[in-house]
Amino acid sequence: MTLSSCGAVVRSALVLAVGAVAALAPVAPQAQAATVDTTATYAVVARHSGKAMQVQSTADGGAVVQSTRVDSAAQQFQFVDSGGGYYRLKSRYSGKVVDVSGSSTANGADVVQWTDKNAANQQFSLVDTDSGYVRIVNRNSGKALDVWERSTADGARVSQYDVNGGTNQQWQLVRLGGGDTPGGNGSPTDPNVKYFGRWNTADPTAYVSEWAGAYLVVGFTGRTVQLRQRNTIDFFVSIDGGPDVAYVNRSGTVNLTPTPLAAGNHTLRVSYRPVAGSYRGDAVYRGIQLDAGATTFAPPVPAKTVEFVGDSITVGQQSSKQALTAYGWLVGERLGTGHTQIAVGGACLVSAADGCIGMSDRFLKTGITNNTDWNFSRYTANVVVINLGTNDVGHSVSGAQFQSAYVTLIQRARQKYPDATILAMQTFRKRYIPETQAAVRLANDPKVRFVDTTGWIVESTDTTDNVHPNDQGHRKIADRLAPIVSAALAG
């Protein structure tokens, strides 16, 4: 029985398979290969981990992994009938199909996505196990799709391996709906728009970000996309993972695709220029405008987030693209995590008497000027990196005041992110080092650590003014910091 011939019988079988198994307990499970619907999309969920199969990009050769199930477009697959009891798994996100890399027949071969050629290494049969789970067996190799080494971690790769009894080779096909499920419209409240960092969402027509390093990502169909702005702002746009393109002094509806894209699914990332010095742009997202009939969809998003707390150095002031060429952004991109820079130029750690913004207190707020308390349930940071103390010395902050405020900031970060690793960086100008180290010791917490940055940059060649790193300096910092953050994420 082929998928395309199932019709109403298939849909009835689906209801039985997912809703009435208990009532039919004396009867052997029905063949799942005959109870999928080629017009529907499915989440493909690993039995051993409960995580969903996911594509990581829209590119040929993009990895297929498992990740916490969120039912994003990157976790949705359609079964395309190849005949003879074989099917291709087509990603709703990329339009490409699951493929055993290089037509390999070896155990452990990578499973990727590739342009649909209906080749044997792209065809799979669905073989029943028990309790409604199936093995997904490649036609070319005869081996089963397998989560490598039975990992339960987000990002663990899907491979192929000899058929065995492992639950890491058993998959549940969870029907999500028809292939024509409508998407969103790209408005600020569209759930397919994914926000990173702190956004003020009080006005549903205009979401505002005041901190550096905040950005948004959304998937969309069609060939063109325009960004709706309010007042003048500089911003950066990346489409389909391409370079970040700068748009300067733009307002209103801005065309981001003067040359139309190829038809299909695309992703858009937008980041606004942060407040710095005399610059006061209007960092407001008012939505996107798409082709007639086009919609948004949920893009794949990282499972983990790193939050960087600091001053103008963390903002990236005086680097070429500011937040986007700062060490925090570079580390996040390199490690494939979500990331944000809770930072502003001139900030102190201590709320000084002369008005210097004290990040120990401001850390709790939605924005630089927005005094509403931030809703920390909006996202969870897995690692918090603090780089503060460069400016306090110029605002008559004593060592005792600095140490006390650092302890307070660590305590607040721990309260808001109970499981995070907190990294306290030594300032590059070597200020308040004993006080920073003492604050780390007083935390008495194995996941609070001091980071010695001695020798990471050379002021004469890696900064613009002996304080602010240039692009080269930020890259050097990222080279040293990324392995430390990576280890913290794994720990």
**pLDDT 10s digits, 260-281:** 999 889 999 999 987 666 667 8
C-beta atoms surrounding 477 within 10 Å: 24
Contacting residues for 390 by C-beta, under 8 A, at least 6 apart: 311, 313, 427, 428, 429, 431, 467
Contact 126, 87 (CB under 8 A): yes
pLDDT at 238: 97
Q: Is 241 left (phi over 0), alpha (psi -120 to 50) or beta?
A: left
Backbone CA torsion sign across 204, 220, 124, 158: negative
At 7, is the secondary structure helix, strand, or coil? Answer: helix
Radius of gyration, alpha carbons of the chain: 25
Domain 40-176 CATH class label: mainly beta
pLDDT at 11: 35
pLDDT at 21: 32
Distance CA 334, CA 316 (A): 17
Distance CA 272, CA 247 (A): 10
pLDDT at 54: 93
Domain 303-491 CATH class label: alpha beta
Contacting residues for 436 by C-beta, under 8 A, at least 6 apart: 389, 403, 406, 424, 426, 427, 450
Write out residues in the chain with pLDDT < 70, as ranges: 1-35, 177-183, 275-279
The torsion angles phi and psi of 459, rounded to 5 degrees, stand at -60, -35
433-443 and 399-416 helices, crossing angle to 10° = 40
pLDDT at 19: 38
Q: Tell me how far CA of residue 425 lies from CA of 309, 352, 439, in angstroms.
A: 10, 21, 12
Bridge partners for 428 per DSSP: none
In this prediction the pTM is: 0.68
Residue type, 109: A
Nearest to 168 by CA among 53, 282, 275: 53
Contact 75, 122 (CB under 8 A): no
Domain ranges of the chain: 40-176, 182-301, 303-491
Distance CA 366, CA 286 (A): 19
Name the residue with tokens 């942060």: 274
Distance CA 160, CA 137 (A): 9
- Third-level CATH fold of 182-301: Jelly Rolls (2.60.120)
Q: Tell me how far CA of residue 179 lies from CA of 3, 175, 267, 380, in angstroms.
A: 15, 11, 19, 32
- The structure tokens listed for 7 are 């019709």
CA 22 to chain centre: 38
At 427, is the secondary structure helix, strand, or coil? Answer: coil
pLDDT at 14: 31
What does the buried/exposed string (b/e) look like for 252-284 if buried means 16 or more CB atoms within 10 Å of the residue's CB?
Answer: eebebbeeebeeebbbbbbbbbbbbeeeebebb
